[in-house]
Amino acid sequence: MFGPDLLGGNGRLRRSIEPGVAVEVDAGVLHVTNRGEGGDRNAYTGRLGVLLHSQDGHAAIGAGVGGGVSPTAGGWGSVDIHGVVSGANRYVRPLLGGSLGYSAPFGSQTFEVSANDSSPVTLGLPRNSIGEIHVGLELGPPDAMLVLGAALMHFWLLEDSRVNLGSAPAPTGEGFAAVGAGLRFAIP
C-alpha cells in the first residue's frame, strides 16, 4: 500500500567446487512501476552463497551475503540462511524449503512513490527481516528440468519505511504469497 510496486528478474549460476559443496552467484534487476517523478527506476542486486548438499543429493542447507544498489533509493546489504529437501524420483520431485534473511540500508537516502491516484509518499529503505516457506515441483531429469513453485513470505519491518510522518506508527510486518516457474539445467 505505501511501498513501491515492482517487476523483477533474477539469474543464478551454481558451481560445485567439490562433492557436496557448491557456490552460487546471483544477479538481478528490479523495476519500480509506480508513477513518480524522474530518476532511475531500477535497482540492481547481487548475492554470493554456499550450498552444502546431503550425500544422496536430496537435502541441502546454505547461506549467502548480498545486496543491491539503486540510484534513486540507495544501497543495502543482506544475509540469508536456507534449506530444502526434495523427492528422489528421477523425473518428478516435490520440494519443501524455508529461509530466513535480514536486510539493512547503507545510509538514509529517501525517494517518493505514488500508488494509484494518491499523493506521493516519501520513503527510505528500512531494516527488515524475512521468513519464507517454499513448496515446489521439479519436472524432468536432474540435468535439465522445469521448476514450478509457490512461496509464503512474511516481512518484518524493523523500522518504518515512510519518513516525515511526525508521529510515525510502530513498524509492522506483512505477508505475501508468490508463484513462479523457472528452468534449471546443467552446463557441462
**What's the whole-number mean pLDDT along residues 167-180?**
75
* Alpha helices by DSSP H, the chain: none
Is pLDDT above 90 for 32?
A: no
**Which pTM value belongs to this model?**
0.78
β-strand partners of 172? none
CB 128 within 8 A of CB 157: yes
What's the confidence (pLDDT) of residue 1?
43
Domain 6-185 belongs to what architecture? Beta Barrel (2.40)
Percent of the chain with pLDDT over 70: 86
DSSP string, 48-68: EEEEEE-TTSSEEEEEEEEEE
Q: How confident is the model at residue 104 (pLDDT cuts 50, 70, 90)?
A: very high
Q: How far apart are CA 100 and CA 108, in angstroms?
A: 24
